[in-house]
Amino acid sequence: MNPTQFSELLGRDPFVPLRLHLNSGEVVEIADPGCAWIQGATLQIFTIKPGRSHIIENNRYIPLRNIAQVEQTSAA
């Protein structure tokens, strides 16, 4: 998947949560499009610490080439 295609998924209105299946077998969820950014061919995903809207709890960088499959999940 290229950056433009992934950006289109993040920009859907209404947003549909995503489940990423990585080449390693790991599964990563994106519930909020505001917590995912694309820079070049890399996806940055982070979560916000509950109750602390400006504190990042987890921060990851995933090369787009490491994403084997993108699954759209139902809204929470």
Tell me which H or E stretch contains 42.
strand 42-48
How far apart CA 35 and CA 56 sit, in angstroms, is: 10
pLDDT tens-digit series, residues 5-14: 999 999 999 9
Residues 12-55 pLDDT 10s: 999 999 999 999 999 999 999 999 999 999 999 998 888 867 88
Q: How would residue 60 be classed by pLDDT, with cut points 50, 70 and 90?
A: very high
Would you identify the CATH topology of the domain 3-72?
A: SH3 type barrels. (2.30.30)
Q: Measured between alpha carbons, how far is 71 from 17 in angstroms, rounded to an integer?
A: 9
Residue 20 CB burial class (10 angstroms; 0-12, 13-18, ≥19):
buried
